[in-house]
């Protein structure tokens, strides 16, 4: 789709949302009016910039290459391409995972791009784009003895490294593990703590963990060979009232999926693998866990 056609469609969306709005400034049933949603998008256009919250420490989704001050990664490059196609600049605000959603809520940032999983609980308070990544969870354990973990039930009493508010920490707690929390730590910190016995495991995304291990082969840890669980969909997060922004981001993502850009970027950052489509592996769903 040409940029001229995309711009025309965005204008149509804007007109439709403005025309269909109820009384200006009102909230009905906790939902923001179309006028407020229109204003949020218009503010971004007026500034000529979209402000994005990301960690800069999550390889290969969002990171700084060695000896470089230029952020890159799968999530980051998708956002750069979206901004380019919308004729916007993009500004990245670097912050810990536990600060991203609150910063979105306060208006400090417009969007979060950090391999964030779509969950029912998060959807109550935030808007999500269509998924740009499909994956599942695995765990890193000690190489010598798999941290004595042979099933998810063996997590009881173990120490799991993670962020305080992540889905991965919720999974660890669900099975009785103690979560040792970190503030925007890099992969080597997590992995060395498992190796040295300060923690027993790290639950995280399969693709991210696979590449972290490949980048740090000197650390004696491994992906658990038998445990593949919790299929996931990752998406960009936006304020609940940003209906127009969400529709516009989804429109560009659809264009990028259709023209192969998502697949190309995935293969670039995930070792030739296409994470932009659902995985073929048999992945265990976790029963009784509300996320």
Domains of the chain: 3-132+235-259 (3.40.190.10), 135-231 (3.40.190.10)
Q: What is the pLDDT of residue 9?
A: 43
The answer to whether 265 touches 16, Cβ cutoff 8 Å, is: no
What's the pLDDT band for 92 if we cut at 50, 70, 90? very high
As given in the structure block, the two tokens for residue 188 are 């080597």
Tally of CA atoms within 13 A in the half-sphere of 40 that contains its CB: 26
Distance in angstroms (rounded) separating the CA atoms of residues 119 and 135: 14
The answer to whether 138 touches 209, Cβ cutoff 8 Å, is: yes
Q: Is the pLDDT of residue 68 over 80?
A: yes
Q: What is the pLDDT of residue 26?
A: 32
Q: What is the pLDDT of residue 275?
A: 96
Beta strand pairing call for 57-58 and 62-63 = antiparallel
Distance in angstroms (rounded) separating the CA atoms of residues 153 and 275: 28
Q: Is the pLDDT of residue 24 over 50?
A: no
First to last CA, the chain: 36
Mean pLDDT of the chain: 88
Q: Residue 246: is the preceding peptide bond cis (ω within 30°)?
A: no
What's the pLDDT band for 148 if we cut at 50, 70, 90? very high
Distance in angstroms (rounded) separating the CA atoms of residues 82 and 74: 12
Q: Is the pLDDT of residue 260 over 60?
A: yes
State the DSSP string of 178-196.
Answer: EEEE-SS--HHHHHHHHHH
Q: Is the pLDDT of residue 13 over 80?
A: no
pTM: 0.74
pLDDT over 70, % of the chain: 87
What mean pLDDT is predicted for residues 155-167? 93
Q: Could you give the 3-state DSSP secondary structure of residue 51?
A: strand
Cα-Cα-Cα-Cα dihedral sign, residues 147, 152, 155, 156: negative
**Residue 92: C-alpha distances to residues 62, 110, 230 (Å):** 10, 10, 29
Distance in angstroms (rounded) separating the CA atoms of residues 108 and 247: 21
What mean pLDDT is predicted for residues 164-174? 92
Distance in angstroms (rounded) separating the CA atoms of residues 149 and 137: 15
What's the pLDDT band for 198 if we cut at 50, 70, 90? very high
């Amino acid at each position: 789709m040409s940029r001229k056609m995309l711009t025309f469609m965005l204008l149509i969306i804007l007109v439709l949302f403005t025309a269909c709005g109820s009384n200006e400034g009102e909230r009905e049933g906790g939902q923001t009016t179309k006028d407020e949603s229109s204003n949020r998008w218009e503010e971004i256009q007026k500034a000529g910039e979209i402000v994005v919250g990301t960690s800069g420490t999550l390889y290969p989704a969002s990171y700084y290459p060695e000896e470089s001050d230029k952020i890159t990664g799968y999530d980051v490059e998708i956002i750069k391409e979206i901004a380019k196609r919308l004729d916007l600049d993009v500004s990245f605000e670097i912050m810990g995972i536990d600060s991203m959603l609150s910063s979105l809520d306060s208006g400090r940032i417009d969007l979060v791009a950090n391999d964030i999983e779509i969950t029912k609980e998060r959807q109550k308070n935030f808007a999500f784009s269509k998924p740009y990544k499909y994956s599942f969870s695995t765990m890193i354990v000690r190489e010598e003895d798999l941290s004595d973990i042979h099933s998810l039930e063996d997590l009881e009493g173990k120490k799991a490294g993670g962020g305080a508010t992540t889905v991965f920490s919720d999974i660890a707690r669900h099975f009785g593990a103690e979560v040792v929390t970190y503030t925007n730590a890099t992969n080597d910190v997590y992995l060395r703590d498992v190796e040295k016995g300060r923690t027993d495991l790290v639950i995280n995304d399969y693709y991210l963990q696979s590449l972290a291990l490949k980048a740090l082969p000197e650390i004696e840890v491994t992906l658990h060979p038998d445990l593949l669980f919790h299929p996931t969909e990752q998406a960009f997060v936006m304020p609940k009232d940003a209906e127009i922004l969400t529709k516009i981001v989804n429109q560009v993502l659809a264009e990028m999926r259709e023209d192969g850009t998502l697949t190309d970027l995935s293969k670039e950052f995930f070792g030739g693998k296409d994470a932009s489509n659902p995985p073929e592996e048999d992945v265990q769903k976790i029963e009784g866990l509300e996320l």
